[in-house]
Amino acid sequence: MPTHNNHQYTAHILATGSYLPRNQVSNQDLVSLLAEKNIETSHEWIYARTGISFRHYANDDETNTYMAYMAAQQALNMANMSAESIDLIIVATSTPDHLFPGVATSVQHKLGIKNCCPAFDVQAVCSGFIYAMSIATQFIENGSYENILVIGSEVFSRLLNFEDRTTCVLFGDGAGAAILSRASSNETQGIKSCVLHTDASGIDMLCAKAHVKNGSIVGEPFVYMEGQNVFKMAVTRLEEVALKALTQANLSTHDIDWLIPHQANIRIMQGTAKKLGLDLNKMIATVEYHGNTSAASIPLALDVAVRDGRIQKGQNVLMEAVGSGFGWGACVIEF
């Protein structure tokens, strides 16, 4: 298992940003929408099982690229940095605007960056932001790049089957961004550890299996999920990976100021925090207002907590996520 002990430099989070689509959709809105199809649901069911009250759905003009760009622009403003200072762009997404080129390329174009910095997408579904952070961290630690734009951006609303009430109520759209930069030599802050895993034995339990062939979509273009199996796997794997990331960072749960879990379901989030022995007041939870935004959920929650002043410089933050694949991971950061 790689560690971050023998690196030349340290990567730290310099700034964050986020974007939520204009259209906020309440549970009651979904009750009405599904009623038109003679499908029953209720705010009480959705809220009790998931902790979700609202999610946002992107309008046609709010493409994945647009949302990613807006989040990036906010992060650049917070850093007081010009787009031209970015020397790598990584976008974590499973809902890109096009088959290719990737969203990261379009973001470079929209930001007007002319420095030919590399730009690529990472497709690791709900764990995508942790995967992208891990990649960015290593590029900074080995001296390849100094300022990396890491974005999670998703339009899962486009993959929802509104005839499947078990999945369509869960997901929302949005984007979050972080600028990872080389820390100066006297700074202690930075990414302390990142741990990634994949177990493909769960490959069919959470998927959208459509592909394009001869100009037509073949297979199901919707999210398919075996909810209870995902739930059980999630709670076990998240505790394991969080403890691994803490060990690699030479920290214990007592050292953690904030937990930022992937915002899939409040019961999974609370279950993991309890297993880790973390006070629920130390958990950043945005799932009630954002729903599950897949790779965007952690950077969205991070940006909310940075902007409202909860996360302060020098505090230790544990991030963890699990998603389709199954893939999962965790990072420990001194902010």
For ligand ACO, the binding residue among 92, 169, 179, 300 (CB under 6 A) is 169
Cβ 324 to ligand ACO shortest distance, Å: 4
Of the residues 24, 26, 45, 236, which one makes contact with ligand ACO according to CB under 6 A = 45
Note whether 326 and 206 are within 8 A (CB): yes
CB of 36 to ligand ACO, least distance (A): 15
Catalytic residue among 27, 64, 265, 292: 292
Q: Does 93 bind ligand ACO (CB under 6 A)?
A: no
Interface segment toward ligand ACO; rule CB under 6 A; list 58-66, 111-119, 248-256, 263-271:
263-271
List of residues 6+ apart from 99 with CB closer than 8 A: 212
- Return the residue of 51, 102, 323, 329 that touches ligand ACO, per CB under 6 A: 323
| H/E stretch holding 92 | strand 88-92
Residue 46 touching ligand ACO (CB under 6 A): yes
> What's the token pair of residue 36?
């038109």
| Residue 122 binds ligand ACO, judged by CB under 6 A | no
Q: Which is nearer to ligand ACO, 46 or 151 (CB)?
A: 46
Q: Does 252 bind ligand ACO (CB under 6 A)?
A: no
166 binds ligand ACO (CB under 6 A): yes
Rg (CA), the chain: 19
By C-beta, is 72 or 125 nearer to ligand ACO? Answer: 125
- 141/136 Cα distance (integer angstroms): 9
* Residue 126 is among the residues annotated as catalytic for this protein: yes
Instruction: Count how many Cα atoms sit within 13 Å of the Cα of residue 267 in the half-sphere of its side chain.
Output: 11
237, 245, 264, 282, 325 from 198: Cα distances, Å: 10, 15, 18, 27, 7
Among 121, 152, 324, 329, binds ligand ACO (CB under 6 A): 324
Tell me how far apart the alpha carbons of residues 252 and 274 are, in angstroms, rounded to a whole number: 14
Q: Is 142 a catalytic residue?
A: no
- Separation between Cα atoms, residue 316 and residue 255, nearest integer Å: 7
Q: Which residues touch 51 (CB under 8 Å, ≥6 apart)? A: 265, 266, 267, 269, 285, 287, 288
Which residue among 165, 274, 275, 307 contacts ligand ACO (CB under 6 A)?
165
Question: In the Cβ-directed half-sphere of 309, how many Cα atoms lie within 13 Å?
Answer: 0
183 binds ligand ACO per the rule CB under 6 A: no
Q: Which residues are the active-site residues? A: 126, 262, 292
Site of interaction with ligand ACO (CB under 6 A) = 41, 45-46, 49-50, 125-126, 165-166, 169, 206, 227-228, 230-231, 234, 264-265, 268, 292, 294, 323-324
